[in-house]
Chains A and B, each alone.
Chain A
Amino acid sequence: MTESTISKSFKRNEDPRLLTGNSTYIDDIEIAGMLHVAIKRSDYAHARIIKIDVEEARKLPGVVAVYTAEDLGDYWRPGPLQVPPPTAIKGAKFNARPLECIAKHKIRFSGEPVAVVVAENRYIAEDALDLISLDIEQLPYIGDLEKALEPGAALVHEDLESNLAADVVQEVGSWEKAVSEADSVLKKRIVTNHVAGGAIENRGFVAQWDENLNILNCWATTQGPIPMRNSIARYLGLLENQVRLMNPAIGGGFGPKIMSSQIDDVIIPWIAIKLKRPIKWIEDRRENFLGTTSERDQIHYAEIAYKKDGTILGVKDVFYHNTGAYDPYGMTIPLNTQTHTISNYKIPNFYSQIKMVFTNQMVVTPVRGAGRSHGIFVMERLMDAVAKETGLDPVEIRRKNMLRAEDMPYRTGVIGQDFVENVLDSGDYPAALEKTFEAIEYEKFKQEIQPKLRAEGKHKGIGIVMFTEGTAVGPYEGAKVMVGVTGKVNVVCAYSNQGQGHYTTFAQIVANQLGVKVTDVNVVIGDSGQWQWGVGAFASRGITLVGTAIHQASVKVRVKALGIASKILSTPEEELELEDGVVRVADMPEKFVTLGDLAMQANPTRGTVEPGMEPGLEAAAYYGPPHGATGFGCLGMILDVDPETARVKIDRLVITDDCGTPVNPMIVDGQIHGGLQMGIGEAFYENLVYDEYGQLLTASFMDYLFPQASDMPAKFEIKHMVTPSPLNPLGIKGIGEAGAICVMPCFMQALEDALYENELSITQSFMSPSKLFHYVQSAKNA
């Protein structure tokens, strides 16, 4: 048997292309006769539109057209919900208010599109924006999640009774029972931070109507090419395959690029057909901050019931979730919060209520982590609070309540974002805790190092938290594996790649079955003209869902290759082996046939066609899991804090992670690095701030602080565990979000430990240097 290509750190196939500047990004696309679009966005957060005057803009030389919602006629309609609400939760309320791609009667957030300018170039289009004037009646701004639900609050959607977007209760066991049996119940109000996706490349869209073929060619930075294609076809009344949607190279996604039925993919195709000219729109950074989606804004009222000895009996969590002005992404984020609140521990009684709220802010959809981090933050902070109350060490209280390997698979009873019960499929959670505990030398730090430092007046603290990462949810993905006559292999899928390394990891999976070099597998991602079944890049599902589909298709191709070779070589299949691009007789290596020749043979010539023949050395396969695969791990951090300046240095960071079989361990480490950097940003640097009138005050990188490489610890110490998932043949789980979801509670725990004299109780997931400084000062004065 060929040596396995799985679990090996192959260098990435895509890197030579990327590193030599030879990738084509959306803004690199130039088509003769192309016009350029700029979008006029509202400066007002909440207003009724009286008139949008575009006459002056239309007169500017070089402007080809200006459109408002009125000009779209019947074409204007709210888009479909990208994710519908789950039907599996009894009594769940959901008020669907899908995106309005361009404001018609009302403006619901500052940054909402109100008009579109098409011009000979972007300069002219931008100049024309300044000539558009808005006559509006300003309405009161709704931004406070709790006040938004009070009677008499102004309404974001006036046809609704209140600003409530959804109300969902999930209960496992009985919270009442937990309270009655508990020695104590502890309550906390916990707030999570509002952050941006902040991809290095903003969004973009190019459309070109091909009149000869009756095909609309579209290029988009979307994470979900097939849903976007379907949305475009539906809007325009075209057949699905009359819209060819292609992903160019994409500079990061992080969630917000999953959205479709937005201004770009609704209006630009319409303009391209109407004007019969290619149209390009490239989002600028300010638009990206104002108009693209973001996430994380929640307020939790959490309670935990426990025994004196630290045994947790139950958790109750009622939380407000900001969905922004619309709720096109259903309840994915708060459902993720619910499933990730109790997923590391044995909590017999759990009550969780979502109150999803409409506000006059940008629309909220998943950002890497997508609700998971909030649940983890709430639970880990509650564990720390109980540890303090009971006098137990934070590690000890976790050990005491952790789910064990023998509990797996563990049915949580909570319905998740994939509309089925969240089942923790596999893993040894306590082992992850012990691994980090040992590696960071927790005991030594607490017993020997820290007392000495404290005696010297230094402030170093340690934190250690658990997390699970729900990944690889349905519904499904598909792929086709095709051997060419050159013997090289082509794989097509409808996923989307923003830098995850799929050109390599997918190739490794093919190579593993077909005995070809990893560099001889060409991976096509996100071209609906080549493959048109799939859902998109979210929930860390690519490697597990597409990877498994590719594995299954490769197995089929292997079977087919061996079948044809068996005839040609007159040898039974069991005596054949597939290696180095050839099928050969195992004990007679000189007797072989190449994969390329087999591909040629698989395309029958005249007189050789047998009944039931399917040409091509190729096969397609689809994979949809019964439920997601859950990775897990444990993060430990040592922080060095200067109380005078509130400067925080990360002394050590140790993470243990288990994402099942790592297809490419180097790429897994890369995902963990990027995730951790995002998590560190969220804990200490990044924060979206609206003022009291709904103006986003952090709409540039001047005010929205992004962590730099120099803000990172000298080393990310990564420890691996491998518990193959029983859900798929390769035992894979996702890894995209692990690092991003676990940093915040660990950071706060370590801060509290470092600043032990202040007896802090940090209940917010964001603590910037200035915030920390004031927090410490007010704790001193309390």
Chain B
Amino acid sequence: MKIEGTHNFIGPREAVWDMFYDPQVLASALPGAQKMDMVNENEYKFDMNVRVGPVSGAFSGEMQLENVVKPTSLTLKGGGKGAPGFLNGIGNVKFDEQEDGTTLMSYEGEVNIGGALASVGQRMIDSVAKSMIRSGFATLDAALAARLEAKATGTEVDFKAPTEAEFAKSVAKDMVGGLTNTAETKLVLYIIPLVVALILVAFLLSRCSGG
């Protein structure tokens, strides 16, 4: 699966770069992330819960930062595995300062997914990935704003990561959005309510079992 895109951060490049080096912030931007630790410089370990449609479970992995050119670019390489399958990926990230003082982040990469994640969850994986990326950026935007605010006022960082419920909602929204402009809309439209219901049920079940 190829991933690429851009995102504009409202803030100077250095602040964005620093934020990316804070494992707590990164973890909060990854829905389902339990923890993320820096084990060496440019090397992280993470544990997260993955939920894609009917597939869910604990996932642990490593991530390395390579070709680090502070504060302009880096390569993210990593992977993880767990009960739901495995995931390997490589991505190049670039930060460009904009004239208006904001920072344009562009990324492109390839992700390779296997196991139940691929064989059972693939129907939803594109939408889930899209949502993860989008809600991840929303979180980072908020985090960045909070950091800049704290820096400006000298107070403590006041930031709360979004809940999983908010994430589930955005996945459902993306699935509907992704379908309305394809040729197959008429044929698959009836599936959507089903999928939405599925996600909600899966989510509620996991909440009930304390997951």
State whether the Cβ of A769 lies closer than 8 Å to any Cβ in chain B. yes
State whether the Cβ of A177 lies closer than 8 Å to any Cβ in chain B. no
CB pair A695 B118 closer than 8 Å: yes
* Contact flags A690-705 to B (C-beta < 8 A → 1, else 0): 0101011111101100
CB pair A773 B86 closer than 8 Å: no
A138 to B82, CA, bound (A): 16
A204 to B109, CA, bound (A): 42
CB pair A43 B57 closer than 8 Å: no
Binds A, one of B119-127, B142-150, B166-174: B119-127
Chain A residues whose C-beta falls within 8 Å of the C-beta of B54 in the assembled complex: 702
CB distance from B135 to the nearest CB of A (A): 25
CB pair B120 A774 closer than 8 Å: no
**Size class of the A contact interface (CB-based, 8 Å):** 20 to 34
Q: A43-B86, A130-B57, A769-B187 are in contact. Are A699 and B120 (CB under 8 A)?
A: yes
A286 to B55, CA, bound (A): 12
Q: A44-B114, A693-B114 are in contact. Are A700 and B120 (CB under 8 A)?
A: yes
CB pair A43 B83 closer than 8 Å: no
Chain A residues whose C-beta falls within 8 Å of the C-beta of B160 in the assembled complex: none
State whether the Cβ of B183 lies closer than 8 Å to any Cβ in chain A. yes
State whether the Cβ of A13 lies closer than 8 Å to any Cβ in chain B. no
CB pair B120 A43 closer than 8 Å: no
CB pair A133 B118 closer than 8 Å: no
CB pair A286 B114 closer than 8 Å: no
State whether the Cβ of B81 lies closer than 8 Å to any Cβ in chain A. yes
* Contact flags A80-119 to B (C-beta < 8 A → 1, else 0): 0000000000000000000000000000001000000000
Chain B residues whose C-beta falls within 8 Å of the C-beta of A708 in the assembled complex: none
State whether the Cβ of B71 lies closer than 8 Å to any Cβ in chain A. no
Chain A residue with Cβ nearest B115: A43
From A45, A138, A289, A645, give the contact of B187 (CB < 8 A).
Answer: A645
CB pair B119 A290 closer than 8 Å: yes
Chain B residues whose C-beta falls within 8 Å of the C-beta of A2 in the assembled complex: none
Chain A residues whose C-beta falls within 8 Å of the C-beta of B116 in the assembled complex: 43, 286, 699
Which B positions have Cβ atoms within 8 angstroms of A?
54, 57, 81-83, 85-86, 88, 112-116, 118-120, 122-123, 183-184, 186-187
A647 to B188, CA, bound (A): 12
Beta-carbon contacts under 8 Å, A662-717 to B: 691, 693, 695-700, 702-703
State whether the Cβ of A7 lies closer than 8 Å to any Cβ in chain B. no
CB pair A774 B183 closer than 8 Å: yes
Chain A residue with Cβ nearest B1: A691
State whether the Cβ of A571 lies closer than 8 Å to any Cβ in chain B. no
Chain B residue with Cβ nearest A699: B119
Beta-carbon contacts under 8 Å, A623-673 to B: 645-647
CB pair B120 A44 closer than 8 Å: no
A289 to B119, CA, bound (A): 10
CB pair A695 B57 closer than 8 Å: no
A524 to B116, CA, bound (A): 40
A289 to B115, CA, bound (A): 12
CB pair A697 B122 closer than 8 Å: yes
Chain B residues whose C-beta falls within 8 Å of the C-beta of A777 in the assembled complex: 183
Chain A residue with Cβ nearest B112: A693
CB distance from B3 to the nearest CB of A (A): 15
CB distance from A154 to the nearest CB of B (A): 16
* Contact flags A739-779 to B (C-beta < 8 A → 1, else 0): 00000000000000000000000000000011001100100
In the complex, which of the residues A700, A773, A777 has the most CB atoms of chain B within 10 Å of its own CB atom? A700
- Can you offer 29 A-B residue contacts whose CB atoms are under 8 A? A43-B81, A43-B86, A129-B83, A130-B82, A130-B83, A133-B81, A134-B81, A138-B88, A286-B116, A290-B119, A647-B187, A691-B118, A693-B113, A693-B118, A695-B113, A695-B118, A695-B119, A696-B118, A696-B119, A698-B119, A699-B119, A699-B120, A700-B119, A702-B54, A702-B123, A703-B122, A703-B123, A770-B183, A773-B183
CB distance from A138 to the nearest CB of B (A): 8
Chain B residues whose C-beta falls within 8 Å of the C-beta of A691 in the assembled complex: 118, 122
A598 to B184, CA, bound (A): 71
Given A43-B81, A695-B113, A703-B122, 11 new contacts (CB under 8 A): A43-B116, A44-B114, A110-B115, A110-B119, A133-B81, A134-B81, A691-B122, A693-B118, A697-B119, A699-B119, A702-B120
Chain A residues whose C-beta falls within 8 Å of the C-beta of B57 in the assembled complex: 130
CB pair A770 B187 closer than 8 Å: yes
A645 to B190, CA, bound (A): 14
Chain B residue with Cβ nearest A43: B115
Chain A residues whose C-beta falls within 8 Å of the C-beta of B120 in the assembled complex: 286, 699-700, 702-703
From B114, B184, B187, give the contact of A110 (CB < 8 A).
Answer: B114
Chain A residues whose C-beta falls within 8 Å of the C-beta of B119 in the assembled complex: 110, 286, 289-290, 695-700
CB pair A43 B114 closer than 8 Å: yes
Chain A residue with Cβ nearest B124: A702
CB distance from B64 to the nearest CB of A (A): 17
A273 to B116, CA, bound (A): 33
Chain A residue with Cβ nearest B119: A699
Chain A residues whose C-beta falls within 8 Å of the C-beta of B88 in the assembled complex: 138
CB pair A773 B184 closer than 8 Å: yes
Chain B residue with Cβ nearest A770: B184
CB pair B85 A43 closer than 8 Å: yes
In the complex, which of the residues A45, A134, A138, A695 has the most CB atoms of chain B within 10 Å of its own CB atom? A695
Q: A699-B119, A703-B122 are in contact. Are A45 and B184 (CB under 8 A)?
A: no
CB distance from B78 to the nearest CB of A (A): 14
Chain B residues whose C-beta falls within 8 Å of the C-beta of A290 in the assembled complex: 119
Chain B residues whose C-beta falls within 8 Å of the C-beta of A697 in the assembled complex: 118-119, 122
Chain A residue with Cβ nearest B188: A770
Chain B residues whose C-beta falls within 8 Å of the C-beta of A43 in the assembled complex: 81, 85-86, 114-116
A133 to B83, CA, bound (A): 9
Chain B residues whose C-beta falls within 8 Å of the C-beta of A647 in the assembled complex: 187
Q: A130-B83, A286-B120, A702-B123 are in contact. Are A695 and B183 (CB under 8 A)?
A: no
CB distance from B50 to the nearest CB of A (A): 13
A691 to B82, CA, bound (A): 20
CB pair A45 B114 closer than 8 Å: yes
A138 to B88, CA, bound (A): 11
A691 to B122, CA, bound (A): 10
Chain A residues whose C-beta falls within 8 Å of the C-beta of B81 in the assembled complex: 43, 133-134
A412 to B34, CA, bound (A): 67
A769 to B191, CA, bound (A): 15
4 A-B pairs closest in CB distance: A43-B115, A699-B119, A695-B118, A130-B83
CB distance from B21 to the nearest CB of A (A): 29
CB distance from B179 to the nearest CB of A (A): 12
CB pair B115 A645 closer than 8 Å: no
In the complex, which of the residues B81, B83, B120 has the most CB atoms of chain A within 10 Å of its own CB atom? B120
Chain B residue with Cβ nearest A692: B112
A138 to B115, CA, bound (A): 14
A506 to B184, CA, bound (A): 49
Chain B residue with Cβ nearest A696: B119
